Structure 1
Amino acid sequence: MTILPSETVGDAYTDSTAWELLADLSDLGDRMPGHEGEAAGASLVADAFEDAGLDEVSTTEFPIPGWWRGDASLTVDRGDRTASFGGSHELVELPGTPSGEVTGRIVDMGYGLPEDFEDVDLSGRIAMASSLTPDDYGRWVHRSEKYDYAAESGAEGFLFYNHIEGSLPPTGDVGHTNGPGPIPAVGLSKELGSRLARHCEAVEGDRGVEATLSVEARNEPATSANVEAVVGPDTDEEVLYTAHVDAHDVGVGANDNGFGSALVVGVGRALASIEDDLETRVRLVVFGAEETGLYGSYYWSHTHDLDRVKCVLNVDGAGYSRDLEIYPHGASGLGAAFEEVSDEFDVPIAVEDGLRPHSDHWPFAQRGVAAAQGRSTAEDSGRGWGHTHGDTLDKLDIRDLRELTVLCAAGVAKLAEADREVDGRDPASVKAETVAEGHDVGMKATDTWPWGEDRPWPWADELQ
């Protein structure tokens, strides 16, 4: 049983290298996939890998559909007066939106659940939906799912409003495989969304209030990159510890997912100090272009031999606290390693059931590889400031980063034990569970269902 030596733990609790990387990533500002800031972030991670003494540091580029934001505005005509909104605290474009100007009545679709759109004709309308999914619904309904339901129902524009007070308008991708989605789309603050919902309720007769949505955006091919390094012996199997370096351009992406990238470097430094004790090679990978479609992890998983991957631990959404959660997606042995870590350090680590198919572990998990997501939570955190202008360094704590570095390094070291069995799953059972949890509804609606006969995994044609 591998236990981190006290010297490694002490160094991790006093080292500031990973935090300094996080600050540098945050200071880049725009790390949108395909933008200069994302490339600069990848370079910073590569340098940090080198400084940590890791081996085989490399950067691999791959193509993606790129997107650049322009101006956006929403003008609402209530008949007796007109109000215009265009400030960044009010609305932001959703990446993957096309350019366009549309005029029509706003129709509030509430939560934007599949049943909310059944038998609804939104022709000539602008659909509006909340970012909230009710706790008792059984699964999370993704933003892009609500967007595609709106477009399929005939809507000519889409408004996605935050359900969290004071957290500014949310961004997030709505693009399709080969480029932009079908209709202009923006995210709205909770305050503006509530105001428009009130206006819609006040309208008698025909549904909604008249508005004009104007969006300017540039969609064209771009390039992203994965950065990786290894530590430990040259073995047939490898344990992958991963995160993503890209972030939405409306903020600085401190938590999502600069924190995860910093964790990968911190864990790499810790494992380098016990390299001679590792029994299986550990590969540290920081993916690009997660936010616009998991392009980096799909590219990696389909350009490498997955038979060599013993297991994957992907960290995304870990900056909320030091309370670590592990979602092993039913892979036996993965959660057990972290239960041992919990006992050894006498700190709580939650091992949770269920699938989380919206981050870089998913391209591995759907193909049967033992793959987990690591994250942390705080009370009522939800997405919090993620995907908004407010995702900044000042909301994070170096103590959380240090503790999670220790816990993740300890868990990865255990997963690297030669005699520790970590079994993957039959992809058919993953597919069945995906259906049982209702995720297939959203994936099919957004054309990301990976088990179709014509396309065995999303974006195959684009990445081959």
Structure 2
Amino acid sequence: MSRLPNDVVGEAYRSDVGWRLLEELVDLNNRMPGQAGEHRGAEYVRERFEESGLADVTVTEFPIPGWWRGECSLELHGRDPPQRFERSHELVELPGTPAGEVTGEIVDVGYGVPEDFEDLDLTGKIAMAYSLTPEDYGRWVHRGEKYGYAVEAGAEGFLFRNHVEGCLPPTGDVGKIDREGEIPAVGLSTEVGDRLLRYCERGNVEATLSVDCRTEPATSRNVEAAVGPDTDEEVLFTAHVDGHDVGTAANDNGAGTAIAVEAARILKRVEDDLETRVRFVVFGAEETGLYGSYYWSHTHDLERVKCVVNVDGVGYSRDLKVYHHGFEEIGEAFDAVADEYGVEIPSAGTIRPHSDHWPFAQRGVPAAQGVSVRDDDGRGWGHTHGDTLDKLDPRDLRELSILCAAGLARLAERDRPVEPVDEAEIREATEAGGYDVGMKAVDNWPWGDERPWPWRDELER
């Protein structure tokens, strides 16, 4: 089929199924990987798939290293009056950080790009890096990469200061794929970060960073269901149900999960017209290492996967953008949707190695990420206390769900091939974009002898 029928589109625009699921997800408060809220969120998704009448509804549990947040503080020495930051709107631990207490001089390393660490000796010091990347740098430098450079330079602690105003310290994983990070790390609000910068400009600032947390084995869950004929090939549409606990993870990625459920419901209504099976997979534990998508991609036959469309970072507008990683056929399918609906859906071949499409793309499986376009830099409210339901609009959710469902219907056409490539091509593109530098810095380079996820040896035996 090339078009969704008008009555199906009209009904979808009045549906509140996705929005009601989103409300239920944010009301769980905490969907950290491996914790009770994430498990319950997976059950909500399962229930919605079953209510929509989808086939092969399954929940699969898998092991992860769980991380639980405790208290943290940053105390400056030698100041009158004493300066101590410990409130939740001032700083917050970064998942994967080890517990510990360190004392040292705070050193601002600017944006924390590789050049900022050249010939820099941070032995015994606490590094502070900005959450943005310079606009003209050519690639985004991930938080984990900045953390890795600080460790390599000898730092004893790491401060990650936000660029988004509003007393919103950022969170985000800095752990290794199978263990904690090396040094205690916290996110700072813009306001605290600016204050520390002012102090540093006047002279040395010594501080004690204290972090209390714990890491122990846990389990996460993937939820999946299918619609359409039983074909050898399948189109995958994916999202992740987990989210950081400092907000309610409404946009990242409650919105993506809601869109997956709504798109599945839409395609169920045209199931008899689909030419290829479409499988919806809502992963767990994306935020702490893409565990769910790595687990799924290494326990299934990828030769059966025609292509993958992953939504993560959708919800702050109705303006869809598709990063197709050089798989032009995916972009062309959404170009056709854009023409049909009279909207712009820009696409780009940029490599994006930081969400659930990546375990597929790195192995040459055609894979894309859908995001919503906005004017501000970085992830906006995401990974902060501000990632709450009030920032989203049900009209955006409906329109994005319709556009995604329409794109999936086109990708499911038998006469629309999407060709895989040798993973060497993806490796070359990753290197050409400069992403290999950061991935190697955080032990996350997926080619060669490295084992950047915990199940490879077990599953390849």
Indicate which of 383, 386, 391 corresponds to 2:382: 386
Equivalent in the alignment of 2:444? 448
**Equivalent residues in 2 for 1:21-420, closer than 5 Å:** 21-166=21-166, 168-203=168-203, 208-380=204-376, 382-420=378-416
Q: Which amino acid aligns with 1:366?
A: Q
- CA shift digits 1:305-356 (9 cap, x unpaired): 0000000000000111000001111113111100000001111111122111
Question: Is the CA contact 2:90–2:167 (under 8 Å) kept in the aligned structure 1?
Answer: no
Task: Note the C-alpha offset of 1:120.
Answer: 1.2
Aligned match of 2:454: 459
Partners of 1:320 and 1:381 within 8 A in 2: no
Q: What is the SS of the residue equivalent to 1:166?
A: coil
In the alignment, the residues of structure 2 paired with residue 453 and residue 93 of structure 1 have an alpha-carbon distance, to the nearest angstrom, of 32
Q: Shift of residue 458 of structure 1?
A: 3.5
Query: Take 1:142 and 1:341, find their aligned partners in 2: how far apart are those partners?
Result: 32
Query: Residue 420 of structure 2 corresponds to which residue in structure 1?
Result: 424
Q: Distance in 2 between matches of 1:79 and 1:409?
A: 58
Consecutive unaligned residues in structure 1, runs of 5 or more: none
SS of the aligned residue for 1:344 comes to helix
SS at match of 1:242: strand
Gap change, CA 1:256 and 1:462, over 3 Å in 2: farther
Q: Deviations over 1:383-407 (max 9, x none)?
A: 1100001100011000000001110
Distance (Å, rounded) in 2 between the aligned partners of 1:237 and 1:272: 18
CA distance in 1, matches of 2:295, 2:67: 19
| 1:100/1:450 CA distance change after superposition, 3 Å | same
SS at match of 1:88: coil
> CA shift at 1:418, angstroms?
1.0
| Range that drifts further, 111-120 or 334-343 | 111-120
Do the aligned partners of 2:167 and 2:191 also contact (CA within 8 Å) in 1?
Answer: no
Gaps of 5+ in 2: none
Q: What number of residue pairs does the alignment pair up?
A: 459
Q: Is the 8 A contact 2:255 2:315 kept in 1?
A: yes
Q: Secondary structure at the match of 1:66?
A: strand
Partner Cα separation in structure 1 for residue 112 and residue 59 of structure 2: 40
**Aligned residues of 2:327 and 2:349 also touching (Cα < 8 A):** no
1:458 is aligned with what amino acid?
Answer: W
SS of 1:196's equivalent in the other structure is helix
**Aligned pair partner of 2:435 in 439, 443, 451:** 439
Q: Equivalents in 1 of 2:98, 2:458: separation in Å?
A: 22
Q: Give 3-state SS (helix, strand or coil) of 2:187's partner.
A: strand
Determine the structure 1 residue equivalent to 2:2.
2
In the superposition, the TM-score normalised over structure 1's length comes to 0.97
Q: Judging changes above 3 Å, is the alpha-carbon distance between structure 1 residues 447 and 454 closer, same or farther for their aligned structure 2 residues?
A: closer
Shift of 1:80: 4.0
Contact 1:449/1:458 (8 A) holds in 2: no
Report the secondary structure of 1:135's partner residue: coil
Measure how far apart 1:81 and its partner are.
3.7
